[in-house]
Structure 1
Amino acid sequence: MKTIYQLFYALLIAVVASFSVSAQCSLTEPAVELNYVSPIGGNCTVNLNLSFTIDRNNGNKYTYVHLWTPGSYPDIDYKKAPSATDLGAVLATIAISTDGVVSLLSTYSADPSNVIPLSTGLTITEEDLGSDISRITIDNIQFEVPGACETLPILKGDVWSTQAQSKNPPVHCFAEGFNLSINDPLASGVINCNDPDGPRTYDLDITTTNPIAFQIEYKLYLDDGVLTGGNAAFTSNDQLIYTSPPTNLSSSLPVNSKGEPYTYGLLEDKRSIWVVVTGISLPNAIVAELKNNCITTLPVKLAKFSGDLLEDAVTLSWITTEEEGSSYFDVERSADLSEFIALGRIQSQGTTNVTQRYNFLDKSPLKGNNYYRLKMVDLNGSSEHSRIISVANNSNSVAFELLGNPVVNREIKFVLKNERIETARLYDLSGKQIHFKLNQSGNTYTLKPNSTIPTGLYILSLGSDQGVQTKKILVP
């Protein structure tokens, strides 16, 4: 039985319609990346990212996206801008301005009293492709779909554009009836344990029902070992370990790789592999997991080891999911990867199958790159080293780190260095923005919500020229 995440990583957009109006404008290649689905009551919350290519110069100053379930998809006459009555049981509406700097609109000019676009918690970026062509990406689009996540239907969408922001703007172009589902090509495979000595290898199959050959590329990522809801999740922290050359794929020309070795470090041999298939003819990436069910015999099962720069220090944290006869951890540091010195010792729990969390503070990190590893020593004196992590400590290094999570007294404390605090935002999981006050002491900030907030998870986000960073916060 596939998990919800396996089922819905494939929930992506496939365009099945072309423009039906004047060729004076162009809006093409819509694509969707699913972030997650989450049950809420008897319904399903969907969170996704949407992108498309647009000709900014020709009839696209204001663009609107609408999404429905197939059963509620309306027959809209785009001779005029659709009103709330025309849209019917629309699940989500997104309004975008490309008149100048691309931005999200909080009002739907065609029917401002009855249709409210999604905008809270969303971020929008633009990639200039030249000749007034831009690739627009909108992240963190969240809405509720009737019915359970396990039976989430294929969704349908329309996109239309206009030059005017008025109550009844003329429609310059539109695309109707694109579907939000794709499961071809199909990527699958297994990880071969080759116990007792390894090395681990993988088998990979990529198949399609298309008899006409088309070109794909696939990449393999080693999972970072951090579980989400008890399952591995494909994230930006996963490590790229292989990129294929351009490969032809058809129903008679599948990809079949057997017994392929792959690169992994110490304690990484039990992690899953993510397969990401892309191609010019594919409207989106296909993501699949090669599960790792191999057994390791180390006294400590290390699920995560990471480091973050604080104001004048580096904080290290690691998580174990199981310990058997473990004695202690030595934290070691190097400036050049050739020689490591011991910074301190943390006693372990000995024997436990309960998740344990450990922390260590390097109060005097080196200037430049700091390389850290853990020496894990068991009760009989045998030891193993963890993988090596790197933390940069430069004058312009960005620091953004929580000081305590869960938070205390509903006050969120964090360190911020070399970034603008004005971009900080706090949201609940529904995307509602929480207003707050900030107190500053050097590079340390204390965020206090203006009103009482209920117990639960919240998202602290920080925008910068390099993108948006987020932290999940638990308020007990």
Structure 2
Amino acid sequence: MKATLPISLAFFSIILFSTQRSMAQACSVSNITIKLNSTSNSGGNCQANVDISWDQMNNNGNKYTTIHIWTQANYPNPQLNYLAPPTLAQLSGALGTLVITNPTSATPTLGSTYQPAPTTKMLTATGVVKTYVSGTGINTINRFTVQGIALTIPGSCSSASKIVADIWSSNSNSNNGVQCTKPNNSIFVNDPLVTGNIICLPRTYTVNISSQSTAKTATYQVFADVPANGILDAGDPLVYSSGSVNIPAAGGGSFTSSPQTFSPYANRNLWVKVTVTGDAFSTTAYIVNTCPLLPVTLTGFEGTRLNSNSVLLKWETATELNNKGFNVQRKSGTGDFETIGFVASSGKEGNSTSLLEYQFTDKSAPSSIVQYRLMQEDIDGRQSFSKLVLISAGNSSELSVIIYPNPSPDGNINLSFSDASPKELQLTDN
């Protein structure tokens, strides 16, 4: 026993080391999504243009992130072990390769060649965008979106096309060593198909999901693109999250959601993210909001002096979108406008397409000529102002005059006097 134990331990160590080195260490890659931009049939192939995104933790030494893409039929079997970068021969059946240079910088770029095998077929793409997800320091997770990837996939675009992507990173200046890998990421390019529509009045959206193959169950989420950068990133606010929905098999129709409101983001573009049960990726679609910005439409704003210290203001709206309410503002003499009250929107969630009536009583109005205006405020903070309403003086024998607007944006002014008697005006150009 004493003689054989060291030999047995040594033998076990060799086996353990061999097992550990059968595959490169795993990259921290998650939340893979694909956005289908366009498809067309040409010469027996499907020409597909897609965006592919994923979340990744990159250590400070990462110089390159490389993506190899195959059709499912041509994916290597057995899969590559990534103890070294794939060779030209190993990539001979791939659709192509993408290389992201300087992934740890704020603005990574797409490389033009795959350095370990410079004659490898490179995929064309329009660019790469990096956005922050979470974490700090070496634990920072960023989202990478490679946009406008052109794929030539054998077969018709009307059939479900699956690709398989290997993602790996290198700390080497020449991309000739593998630091980590995330292989065998299966992604359907065009299954499910996801579209959406925004209805202008009343401002709502619908989501449509159809299958190119078998029936499916799925969930979907809707996000507002805020700020509007055309990228589904971690900061985009969630508008809606569905329960499980049923998607019929190809030829059997599709799932269409009921119209949903999306206040306070009714003027924003939307993202839809669909995750099919059992899939390790999600499909996204971008819904562009082409509706005109519809501010609150005032059809009337007037005021009546009730007594020397009380003024009744009334106004109506024909339509309201994303309206929080109205700040009532007052100005007397040469002072500035001040907010004296707030009237909340009567519309459901700040939206309405029917006539709504409002009123506000200023119980501490000056007895002199006074000006009023409404500062309408959207739910998302934007503001607009109504016309001015002038109220004559109450119980005052002194003559007063208001000149407005002052300053004038177009050279035109209005004069308001505290009584209706004839006046003589003298205009002097200084």
TM-score exceeds 0.5: no
Q: What interval of TM-score do these two structures reach, taking the shorter chain for normalisation?
A: 0.3 to 0.5
Q: What TM-score results when the alignment is normalised by the length of structure 1?
A: 0.39
* Higher percent of residues as strand: 1
Larger radius of gyration: 2
